[in-house]
Amino acid sequence: MDKSMIGDLDSLPEADKLRMAAMIEQLQVRDSLRMYNSLVERCFTDCVDSFKRKTLDKQEETCVRRCAEKFLKHSMRVGLRFAELNQGAPTPD
Amino acid sequence: MDKSMIGDLDSLPEADKLRMAAMIEQLQVRDSLRMYNSLVERCFTDCVDSFKRKTLDKQEETCVRRCAEKFLKHSMRVGLRFAELNQGAPTPD
Amino acid sequence: MDKSMIGDLDSLPEADKLRMAAMIEQLQVRDSLRMYNSLVERCFTDCVDSFKRKTLDKQEETCVRRCAEKFLKHSMRVGLRFAELNQGAPTPD
Amino acid sequence: MAGVPSDLEREQIFSMAEKEMEYRVEMFNKLTHTCFKKCVENKYKDSELNMGENSCIDRCVSKYWQVTNLVGTLLGNTRPIPVNDAAP
Amino acid sequence: MAGVPSDLEREQIFSMAEKEMEYRVEMFNKLTHTCFKKCVENKYKDSELNMGENSCIDRCVSKYWQVTNLVGTLLGNTRPIPVNDAAP
Amino acid sequence: MAGVPSDLEREQIFSMAEKEMEYRVEMFNKLTHTCFKKCVENKYKDSELNMGENSCIDRCVSKYWQVTNLVGTLLGNTRPIPVNDAAP
């Protein structure tokens, strides 16, 4: 979850800030677990198509690794662009 | 969210009614935000396929507008039919 | 929802156990309602493609029945395998 | 259940009502998206629903409802689905 | 709204803030998955994003953002979308 | 963490347990739907799972589990996945 998704908290009193921060942390934990689940589903769907054995073969494993790595890099890039847009910055063409 | 999705509240005591109404309002807000997100995803997926520029061209914009308008009309119609079924009314053939 | 999805509760004090059990029950109810919704969506999508009438014909109804029964059997089997994996048991080849 | 319900019972009633509403909202959303995919042409040449789309939508909702009831019966389900039955 | 907000008002502010954050997280996730499908080749011959994929991702995010704003305007929506506007 | 946990700590423990269960339920649901799509023929000529489908399901669950563990390792993740490892 990207920092820029969190609104301006400075104007809140101290006790409310703490509570807001706890809520944000909760959402972040849930979000990262959901991301994990979606990542597994996507890479499984794209990489595993044969069910003649019950273990991943070398090729499937390589595919899953690359898929996960690509997805993470993608996700970070999207996070950066998203943050820029949230701040109204111009984007690379 | 359609009114007919909300059960009969008349039998509840006053304080509980207020609480139930607050819960329903919460769900409605969440639901309308989710609907907004799904609508954007659907119209983006159906209308935007070229990534040679970073801005929507005229044709994509028109497509998105129509998609959103059609979806809203569709959604309202579904809501009406859904309400009728919830009340056991016969439907047009 | 599968029992094996629930962690070890024995180490908790009594009051917390009750609270944890209530939370688990909540999740189970929500989960079974979600499962119901997904099942309907899947079987509808796979079995109903003609909209010349407003009622299901015999063939569609049969298809939906089989789809739902298959899905339930599938779901139970997945639950068994999932439980075995959660307990580190070897799986059938 | 006669008499004044306890706090715990009231909490359970609320919690069940909440789950049921979530369920109905989810059902409504799935139905809406499924029927949109089945009935509305996705080239969006127009911003109006035409007559064919409109009648497809009505029938789609009706059939989706029947599938919901049918699956509910198979699941031995008497509850989550509304008190009133769908039109025949 | 001047003066000290009541407990109820504070609850409502929190609840709205929570919904809004959930909304933004969901938007971010949908955007991420949609642009992954649109831009990244799914044979996974490599674990790096190549130049074409990278620029596709940037433009995809930008266009998704514009669609969000466009649809927001159609819905008569002034709120859920951020204070700052997207780049032209 | 020795000694009696504070209220705040207990709340956090509950909250984490809740998230973890939600995570597992979601994983189970995604696995179920994914393996249904991969293994079960969708013409529904029969209401029984045949032998081929059954063994496909078993292997699908096993492989899905392995992918979960593999991705977990890549994410530097030691937690959400169960204490016991999957069968080799």
How confident is the prediction along chain D (88 residues), in pLDDT tens digits per residue? 455 667 777 777 788 888 888 999 999 999 999 999 999 999 999 999 999 999 999 999 999 999 999 999 998 864 444 433 333 3
F85: alpha, beta or left, given left = phi > 0 and alpha = psi -120 to 50?
beta
Could you read off the pLDDT of C10-23 as tens digits, one per residue?
666 777 788 888 88
From first to last of its 93 residues, chain C has per-residue pLDDT tens of: 444 444 555 666 777 788 888 888 888 889 999 999 999 999 999 999 999 999 999 999 999 999 999 999 999 999 999 999 988 766 555
Could you read off the pLDDT of E36-69 as tens digits, one per residue?
999 999 999 999 999 999 999 999 999 999 999 9
Closest approach of chain D CAs to the CA of B91, in angstroms?
7
What span, in angstroms and rounded, lies between the C-alpha atoms of B56 and E39? 16
Would you say A26 and F15 are in contact if contact means Cβ atoms under 8 Å apart? yes
Q: What is the pLDDT of residue E85?
A: 36
Q: Provide the number of CB pairs (under 8 Å) joining chain A to chain E.
A: 106
- Domain segments of chain E: what residues? 9-39+50-74
- Domain segments of chain A: what residues? 3-86
Is the pLDDT at F20 greater than 60? The verdict is yes
Hey, what are A48's tokens?
A: 């595993």
Q: What is the pLDDT of residue D40?
A: 97
The chain D residues in contact with chain C (CB within 8 A) are: 15-16, 19-20, 22-23, 26-27, 30, 34, 38-39, 55-56, 58-60, 62-64, 66-68, 70-72, 74-75, 77, 80, 88
Q: Does C58 contact B at CB distance below 8 Å?
A: no
Give the pLDDT mean for A48-58.
Answer: 97
Is the pLDDT at E6 greater than 80? The verdict is no
In this complex, whether B and E touch, counting 3 or more CB pairs under 8 angstroms, is yes
Closest approach of chain C CAs to the CA of A36, in angstroms?
17
Closest approach of chain B CAs to the CA of E17, in angstroms?
11
Would you say B27 and B35 are in contact if contact means Cβ atoms under 8 Å apart? no
What span, in angstroms and rounded, lies between the C-alpha atoms of E86 and E88? 6
Alpha carbon E4 to its chain centroid, in Å, reads 32
Q: Does B91 contact C at CB distance below 8 Å?
A: yes
Cα angle A51, A54, A59 (rounded to 5 degrees) comes to 70
Provide the sign of the torsion angle of the four alpha carbons E12, E13, E19, E20, taken in this order. positive
Cα angle F84, F87, F88 (rounded to 5 degrees) comes to 125
Q: At what angle do helices E51-74 and B58-86 cross, to 10 degrees?
A: 50
Q: Which residues in chain A touch residue B54, judged by CB atoms under 8 angstroms apart?
A: 91-93
Q: Does A46 contact E at CB distance below 8 Å?
A: yes
Place of tokens 């099942």: C39
Q: What is the CATH number of domain B9-86?
A: 1.10.287.810
Least Cα distance to B51 among A90, A81, A84, E55 occurs for E55
Q: Does B54 contact A at CB distance below 8 Å?
A: yes
Give the pLDDT mean for F57-70.
Answer: 97
What span, in angstroms and rounded, lies between the C-alpha atoms of B70 and B58? 18
Give how far Cα B26 sits from Cα of B15, D30, E16, F36, Å: 17, 20, 9, 34
Q: Does B52 contact A at CB distance below 8 Å?
A: no
Which range (B12-21, D29-38, E15-24, E26-35) has the least confidence? Answer: B12-21
Q: What is the pLDDT of residue D12?
A: 77
Cα angle A74, A75, A78 (rounded to 5 degrees) comes to 85
Residue of C26, C43, C51 lying closest to D60 (CB–CB): C51
Q: What is the pLDDT of residue D83?
A: 35
Q: What is the pLDDT of residue F47?
A: 95
Q: Does B19 contact E at CB distance below 8 Å?
A: no
Closest approach of chain E CAs to the CA of B69, in angstroms?
8
Least Cα distance to D14 among A67, B23, C64, E22 occurs for B23
What span, in angstroms and rounded, lies between the C-alpha atoms of E20 and F62? 38
Interface test with B, best of D30, D61, D65, D68 (most B CBs within 10 A): D61
Domain A3-86 classification at class level: mainly alpha
Provide the sign of the torsion angle of the four alpha carbons A40, C42, C49, D56, taken in this order. negative
Closest approach of chain C CAs to the CA of D27, in angstroms?
6
Taking 70 as the pLDDT cut, the residues of chain B under it are 1-12, 89-93
Could you read off the pLDDT of A56-78 as tens digits, one per residue?
999 999 999 999 999 999 999 99
Secondary structure of chain D in the HEC alphabet? CCCCCCHHHHHHHHHHHHHHHHHHHHHHHHHHHHHHHHHCCCCCCCCCCCHHHHHHHHHHHHHHHHHHHHHHHHCCCCCCCCCCCCCC
Is the pLDDT at E23 greater than 60? The verdict is yes
According to the CATH classification, is domain F7-74 in 1.10.287.810?
yes
Do E23 and B53 count as a contact with CB atoms less than 8 A apart? no
In chain A, the N- to C-terminal Cα span, in Å, equals 25
Q: At what angle do helices A58-86 and E51-74 cross, to 10 degrees?
A: 50
D49: alpha, beta or left, given left = phi > 0 and alpha = psi -120 to 50?
beta
Least Cα distance to B35 among B77, B68, B83 occurs for B68
What span, in angstroms and rounded, lies between the C-alpha atoms of A20 and A26? 10
Q: What is the pLDDT of residue F87?
A: 32
With b for 16 or more beta-carbon neighbours within 10 A and e for fewer, the B13-41 pattern comes to: eeebeeebeeebebbebbbbbbbbbbbbb
* Assigned CATH topology for domain E9-39+50-74: Helix Hairpins (1.10.287)
Closest approach of chain D CAs to the CA of B31, in angstroms?
7
Q: Does C70 contact D at CB distance below 8 Å?
A: no
Could you read off the pLDDT of A19-45 as tens digits, one per residue?
888 888 888 889 999 999 999 999 999
Return the partners of chain A (3 or more C-beta pairs < 8 Å).
B, C, E, F
- For residue E46, the one-letter residue type is D
Alpha carbon B88 to its chain centroid, in Å, reads 22
Q: What is the pLDDT of residue D10?
A: 77
**What confidence tier does F65 reach under pLDDT thresholds 50, 70, 90?**
very high
What span, in angstroms and rounded, lies between the C-alpha atoms of A9 and D64? 45
Return the partners of chain F (3 or more C-beta pairs < 8 Å).
A, C
Q: Does B93 contact C at CB distance below 8 Å?
A: yes
Would you say A83 and A2 are in contact if contact means Cβ atoms under 8 Å apart? yes
Is the pLDDT at A49 greater than 50? The verdict is yes
Beta strands in chain C (DSSP E): none
Q: Which residues in chain B touch residue D44, judged by CB atoms under 8 angstroms apart?
A: 46-47, 62-63, 66-67, 70
Hey, what are B59's tokens?
A: 């044709």
What span, in angstroms and rounded, lies between the C-alpha atoms of B90 and F18? 43
Residue of F36, F44, F86 lying closest to C85 (CB–CB): F86
Would you say E25 and A75 are in contact if contact means Cβ atoms under 8 Å apart? no
Least Cα distance to F82 among C17, C88, A34 occurs for C88
